[in-house]
Structure 1
Amino acid sequence: MAEFQNPTDPEIKSLLENTKTIALVGASPKPDRPSNRVMKFLLDQGFHVIPVNPGQAGSTIHGQTVVAQLSDIQTPVDMVDIFRNSNDAAGVVDDAIAIGAKSVWMQLGVINPDAFAKARQKGLIAVMDRCPAIELPRLS
């Protein structure tokens, strides 16, 4: 298993300050789901958030149209925020690399050191087992 070390607090702060568009993979329309609450928080912070969920494609979550997969997004993506299980994170990282995302962020409990290492190897900033909705207030 690959070793991983998350970026430092100043690096995470810089990442968040330089991120405008976030693709949120695993977005849920259910208000009780963490992905739904985090998406709302990120929208309220001024980020452009694109929900990604094949089962919800074409519908809207918090007023944003859901796409089925990352390759359906027609605009550059700064960050791919991953709300999927740890095993699924590897495929999402591959898709993030394929669309030219600048960073991948694996949510709390999403732990895949090999996917983390691959993202870093391909030049992406990678964060694992953290939540931007926690880090933004903590670092600002």
Structure 2
Amino acid sequence: MTYSDAYLRKILGRTKTIAVVGVSANPVRPSYFVARYLGLKGFRVVPVNPGLGGQTLFGERVFADLAEVPVHVDMVDIFRRSEVVPAIVDTALDRWPALQTIWMQIGIQNAQAAEKAELHGVDVIQNRCPKIEYQRLFGELRMGGFATGIISSRL
């Protein structure tokens, strides 16, 4: 899957609230540091994990199920196996008719779920990480030794 930088920038630029499905409370897990990073960048992160329901993570209540989230979200970021993605997408589409984005993390793809979401007018990203894309597109990966291809005059 190929996504233009303009498309990814548009998605990240319009997104304000992200439900992170499968978030972990373990700081060494990718789902933890991705969610934490996105929160530090100004996104509201709503954590979703059945094993952590009712706890607090990143200053937000953790919800056991996506259907329990009481606020509107713009993006659902999925850290779950590819085979469970269709059920997550169904719940998200039922819960938020104005949902803008379904984002499946690195290694996660489901063509059936992606097609269904797109038929509902939802943008879909598969096999990518919003943290990595945000860093790459907004010139932050250079500090980690990565060449972003983006020229910036920021110090």
**TM-score, length-scaled by structure 1:** 0.93
- Identity among equivalent pairs (%): 43
Computed over aligned residues only, the root mean square deviation of the Cα atoms, in angstroms, reads 1.1
Q: 1:79 aligns with which of 60, 75, 78?
A: 75
Residue deviations 1:35-59, cap 9 Å, x none? 0010110001000000001111001
State the 1:89 CA deviation: 0.9
Is the 1:6–1:128 Cα contact (8 Å) retained in structure 2? Answer: no
Q: Which protein is bigger by CA-based radius of gyration?
A: 2
What CA distance in whole angstroms lies between the structure 2 residues aligned with 1:137 and 1:80?
A: 19
Write the letter of the residue equivalent to 1:75: V
State the 1:6 CA deviation: 4.8
Residue deviations 1:39-93, cap 9 Å, x none? 1100010000000011110011222210111121111110000000010111111
5+ residue gaps, structure 1, are: none
* Counterpart position of 2:115: 117
* Counterpart position of 1:49: 45
CA distance 1:68–1:25, change in 2 (3 Å): same
Is the 1:27–1:35 Cα contact (8 Å) retained in structure 2? Answer: yes
Write the letter of the residue equivalent to 1:34: P
State the aligned residue count. 136
Q: How does 1:87-126 map to 2 (within 5 A)?
A: 87-100=83-96, 101-126=99-124
Partner of 2:82: helix, strand, or coil? coil
Partner of 2:106: helix, strand, or coil? coil
What CA distance in whole angstroms lies between the structure 2 residues aligned with 1:6 and 1:112?
A: 15
Q: How does 1:10-49 map to 2 (within 5 A)?
A: 10-49=6-45
Partner of 1:22: helix, strand, or coil? strand
Higher RCO (C-alpha 8 Å, min separation 6)? 1
